[in-house]
Amino acid sequence: MARKIVLTSGKGGVGKTTVCANLGMYLAKLGFRVVLFDVDIGLNNLDVVMGVEDQVVFDITDCIMGRCRPRQALVQDKNISSLYILPSSHAYNKTNILGEHIKNIIDQLDSSFDYILIDCPAGVEAGFHRAVFPATEAIIVVTPHLSSIRDADKVIGLLNDYDIQYKGLVINRVRGDLLLNGEMMTVENIVRALNLPLLGVIPEDDAIGASNSLGGRVQSIESARAFTLLSENIHNGSKKIFDCTYKYRGLMGYIKRNIKKHV
Ligand SMILES: Nc1ncnc2c1ncn2[C@@H]1O[C@H](COP(=O)(O)OP(=O)(O)OP(=O)(O)O)[C@@H](O)[C@H]1O
Ligand SMILES: [Mg+2]
């Protein structure tokens, strides 16, 4: 049976798709069979982020309409053979797609995979329901900004209406220089505000933006390490959190963070 984990946030643009893609890659690198399921219907970003959009033959709509089996719609990753993408679609009236349809697709993949990561759209309307309904675990992705944390808090409350047995937190786009200068909300304060177990902290990384247009694969050493720790924490329950401040500590770090501040 696969672990069925939805990545959600409430607020848009906080990094759900980025975390979903990278977490999937690192879990697959650990040897697991992983499906990244794009349930952000209408925008289908995940195939683009993974650099497989030109290989999509069938999508979620074809599965629902019975034009293919879910296995036939899976696109294998170019580099990691145990990683697959199930693409969303943009040419269908999405109001016809229900949570039950998504669950039915997942049920058909369940026995063949270790992880099914569900990429949820922004918001808390029908799209949220569709993505959360079939999941049994949720990762709430936030950035260190009040609006993101407030929306995440709402989402955490809404998740109580679903069959979600485990909820964890990923804090994305953390800047170590701002943290040390006291200009960004701390990880501890965010965890305290949302009262969820912390699964990972991902640094702000210019290379991630670049990687999204290069198939999600070019990253700094820091974010690669952060995603490795996140995938290990999720898989084996370890609690190793990446320290975004380490390269800004000490005399050289002090100079670095203050130079950064003034450029
Ligand atoms: N850690 C990071 N460092 C730098 N840029 C990042 C990071 N995480 C995400 N981004 C960038 O932020 C943008 C939004 O990320 P992403 O698409 O993953 O968010 P999302 O929550 O899935 O958005 P939506 O709600 O629209 O689906 C992208 O351009 C992505 O490259
Ligand atoms: Mg997204």
pLDDT given for residue 28 in this prediction: 97
User: Which ranges constitute the DSSP H helices of 110-175?
Assistant: 126-132, 146-158
Residues with Cβ within 8 Å of 98's Cβ and at least 6 positions away in sequence, in order, are 130
For residue 119, what is the domain's CATH number?
Answer: 3.40.50.300
pLDDT given for residue 254 in this prediction: 78
Please say if the pLDDT value at position 30 is more than 80.
yes
Q: Name the residue with the closest Cα to ligand 1, atom 31.
A: 209
pLDDT band at 42 (very low <50, low <70, confident <90, very high): confident
Which of 7, 8, 17, 119 most suits a substitution to test ligand 1, by most atoms within 8 Å of the C-beta? 17
* Domain span including residue 253: 3-262
Residues with Cβ within 8 Å of 45's Cβ and at least 6 positions away in sequence, in order, are 17, 38, 119
What pLDDT, in 10s, does the model give residues 228-241? 999 999 999 999 99
The total number of structural domains in the chain stands at 1
- In this prediction the pTM is 0.94
Please say if the pLDDT value at position 125 is more than 80.
yes
In ligand 1, which atom is closest to the CA atom of 119? 22
In ligand 1, which atom is closest to the CA atom of 207? 4
Q: Name the residue with the closest Cα to ligand 1, atom 9.
A: 15
What pLDDT, in 10s, does the model give residues 67-98? 999 999 999 999 999 999 999 987 666 678 89
pLDDT given for residue 229 in this prediction: 97
pLDDT given for residue 261 in this prediction: 61
pLDDT band at 119 (very low <50, low <70, confident <90, very high): very high
pLDDT band at 133 (very low <50, low <70, confident <90, very high): very high
Judge contact between 230 and 170, C-beta under 8 A. yes
Please say if the pLDDT value at position 242 is more than 70.
yes
In three-state secondary structure terms, 98 is coil
Please say if the pLDDT value at position 43 is more than 90.
no
In ligand 1, which atom is closest to the CA atom of 18? 18
Please say if the pLDDT value at position 263 is more than 60.
no
Q: Name the residue with the closest Cα to ligand 1, atom 30.
A: 209
